[in-house]
Amino acid sequence: MTTTIQSSTLAVPPPKAIPSHVAIIMDGNGRWANQRFLPRVAGHSKGVDTVKTIVQECASYGIKYLTLFAFSTENWRRPSHEVTFLMRLFFKVLKLQVSLIHKNNVKLVIVGDLSAFPEPIRKNAAQAQQLTENNTGLVLTIAANYGGRWDILNAMRLAYENNPDILPENMTEEWLSPYLSMSYAPEPDLFIRTGGEQRVSNFLIWQLAYTEMYYTPIFWPDFDQQAFADALTWYRFRERRFGQTGHQLLESQIVKNA
Ligand code: FPP
């Protein structure tokens, strides 16, 4: 019997010890600061140091894609001074770190609806992406003003614009997925959320369908080399089935290793 493949994810990737793509929600900056009687924004500043550490760690483990949720479509609801601070921080990081990013052969990609950002940030973001576009090392994606629902709707619009005569029965995952903002990357193997909350918060909702989800109570500013190594160890011991049985997986491993 031939089986119709319904999902693009059913092309089962071989399980690997090290994930190819790690996606992170960097949560807990505000609580980290509160615990120290500091303003919330001090947590965001400290969080930038963790970003640097984790970028270096990913590069040294040979992880190919790292995606960070920096600013969600819902973050606009925060107090205006915090939103302004986050914008300025984003601008500063882009400006000051881009040469270091480039020197380390990292390719920077920014996804999300940047049209809502001030012009200097958009200009900086475009320049940083242009400078690093031919780099062959880690692909660092920053999701800014990003929301998973926005991404899917945006992809629908683009796909429809490109092919307005399409019949509903031809609207498949393969038809839509090239229009998603992260179509250049494989789906994340490992999702990490720091700060203790256990939810996806409208991050890469399409792309996380088969991702291993790792939640840690550690606040983002405290998420260090060891904490990242612990997440990778946890991942190594996960059995990724993609809908198959454990027995089928074992069989395919035996055939592969024969
Ligand atoms: C969530 O913590 C964090 C954010 C909304 C912003 C994350 C930004 C950075 C780490 C710095 C900029 C990063 C880049 C890549 C340029 P929270 O404020 O929700 O913390 P809480 O849950 O404790 O309140």
Instruction: Give residue-wise pLDDT tens across range 135-182.
Output: 999 999 999 999 999 999 999 999 999 999 999 999 999 999 999 999
Instruction: Give residue-wise pLDDT tens across range 33-52.
Output: 999 999 999 999 999 999 99
Is 27 a pocket residue for ligand 1 (Cβ < 6 Å)?
Answer: yes
Cα separation of 117 and 144, whole Å?
A: 9
Beta partners for residue 137, in sequence order: none
**Distance of CA 109 from the midpoint of ligand 1 (Å):** 18
E strand residue ranges, the chain = 21-25, 65-72, 107-111, 139-146, 190-193, 212-215
Assess whether 230 carries a catalytic annotation. Answer: no
One pLDDT digit (tens) per residue for the chain, 258 residues: 333 444 455 444 555 789 999 999 999 999 999 999 999 999 999 999 999 999 999 999 999 999 999 988 889 999 999 999 998 898 899 888 999 999 999 999 999 998 888 899 899 999 999 999 999 999 999 999 999 999 999 999 999 999 999 999 999 999 999 999 999 999 999 999 999 999 999 999 999 999 999 999 999 999 999 999 999 999 998 877 666 666 666 676 665 555
In this structure, are residues 112 and 71 in contact, taking their beta carbons and an 8 Å threshold? yes
Token representation of residue 236: 């190594």
* CATH of region 21-257: 3.40.1180.10
Three-state DSSP class for residue 24:
strand
Could you say which of 29, 34, 49, 75 is catalytic? Answer: 75
Domain segments of the chain as ranges: 21-257
**Distance of CA 28 from the midpoint of ligand 1 (Å):** 7
pTM here is: 0.88
